[in-house]
Amino acid sequence: MAGSDKNAEPNSGIMDIATYVPGKSGVPDGVRLFKLSANETPLGPSPLAKQAFADLANHLEDYPDGSASSLKQALAKAHGINVDNILCGNGSDELLSLLAQCYLRPGDEAIYTEHGFLVYRIGILAAGATPVVAPETNCTADVDAILERVTGNTKLIFLANPNNPTGTYLPMSEVRRLHEGLPENVLLILDAAYAEYVRKNDYEAGMELVSGSNNVIMTRTFSKIYGLAALRVGWMYAPHHVVDAIDRVRGPFNVNAAALAAAEAAIGDRSTVDNAIIHNDEWLTWTTQEIEKLGLKVTPSVGNFILIHFDGANDKTAAGADSYLTSKGYVLRLVGGYGLPNAIRMTIGTQEACEGVVSSLAEFLNS
C-alpha cells in the first residue's frame, strides 16, 4: 500500500549472518605491501594460464561453455575420475552455498567444526537452517564431537580438510570413521581447498571415498596453489544425484570463459605446482620454527599458512602484533571471527616476506 513504512523482509536466517570480511590489504602510504592475509600463492599462476587468459581478450563477445566440458575433461584425466561426477563453479564457495541451498530447509541442521570456514555458517543460515558447531581438540576437527551432534534433523556436515584458519587436518582413517558413523541421508562435504599442499602419507583429499559412496562430496579450488584467485573457479566431485541437483540450480554460465581457459591451462603445467609445493615446504617449516623461537605458539600446519597464538606472550596481543606488522607493510589476518581472538594467521609468502615478518615480530615482542 502506498505510503507504508514496512519494508520487505528477507528470508529467515539472513539477518543472522555476519557479513564476510576478506583479509585486508592496505598499509600506510610509502610502505611496501606484503599481503599475507588471504593465503594467495607468492609465486603467481602458471605462465600457460596467463597466456590462456590473455588469448580470451579476442573473444569477449562470446558466452563461455556453460557445461565447462573441456575443463571437466582435463580434471577427469588429471585425477583419474569420472567426468560425469564433476561440476564446476564460480569458486568452490559457490558450490558450497548451492549445496546448502539445495539440501537444507528451515528445521534442518548442518554441522561444521569450531574453527571452520565462515562460508559454511553463511550458507546454512541463508537456507533458513540451523548451524550446529562441533568443538575441536587442539584446533583439530574431532570426529566423536561431530558424531555426537548428529540428530534426525542433520542433513549436511561441512569438513574443511585441511582446515582454514588452523592448518590442521584429519587423516583419511578418521574421515572414513566419520563417514561410517553417518546415516546414509546425511551428506558429508569435504572441502579440500588446500589439498595440493599436504605432504602427509595418511592424508587423502577424498576422491576415493566419493567414488565408493553415495553421500560424500569433495570440493576443490584453483584459487590457492594454482594462483587463479582473481578468476574464481572451483569444482566438486560428487555422486551423480548430487551433481544433477546442483546442475539444475547453478547459473547457466556460472564460470566465465577466461577462468575456464586459465584453469585448464594450469592443470597442464605441473612444474608450476611442484615449484609452489617446494617453496611452501621450505618456508612453512622455516617460518614456523623461527616464530616458535620467539616464544610464540604456532599450530602445526599442512597448508600454505600458519596460525600464530599470542596467549601467554606477556602483555602482547594479536591485535597489537597486527597493527605493528601493518605499519611495517606486512598484512596478516586477525581471526577473531573464527573464535580465535588472540591469534593471527599468516600466509607463507616469499622468502623476503617470511624473513621480514619474523624480524618484525621480534621487534614487536621486544618493544
Please say whether the beta carbons of 301 and 292 come within 8 A. Answer: no
Assigned C-alpha cell, 66: 556453460
pLDDT computed for residue 11 by the predictor: 73
Q: Which pLDDT tens digit goes with each residue over 148-184?
A: 999 999 999 999 999 999 999 999 999 999 999 999 9
What is the predicted pLDDT for the residue at 32? 81
The pTM (predicted TM-score) of the whole model is 0.92
Whether omega before 45 lies within 30 degrees of 0, making that bond cis, reads no
Indicate the Cα dihedral angle 274, 280, 285, 287, nearest 10°.
160
> In the prediction, which pLDDT does 3 show?
56
Q: Report the half-sphere exposure of 211 (CA within 13 A, side-chain side).
A: 11
Contact 358, 291 (CB under 8 A): yes
Residue showing cell 507504508: 4
What is the Cα–Cα distance from 81 to 92, expressed in whole angstroms? 18
User: Which pLDDT belongs to residue 7?
Assistant: 72
For residue 313, the model assigns a pLDDT of 61
First to last CA, the chain: 63
Topology of domain 47-268 in CATH is Aspartate Aminotransferase; domain 2 (3.40.640)
- Give residue limits of the domains in the chain: 23-44+271-366, 47-268
The closest alpha carbon to 299, from 271, 338, 268, belongs to 338
Task: List, in sequence order, every beta strand (DSSP E) within 48-106.
Answer: 86-89
Q: Which residues of the chain have pLDDT under 70?
A: 1-5, 8, 10, 12, 14, 16-29, 31, 312-314
Q: Summarize pLDDT for 235-269 with one digit per residue, the tens.
A: 999 999 999 999 999 999 999 999 999 999 999 99
CATH topology assigned to domain 23-44+271-366: Aspartate Aminotransferase, domain 1 (3.90.1150)
> In this predicted structure, what is the pLDDT of residue 253?
95
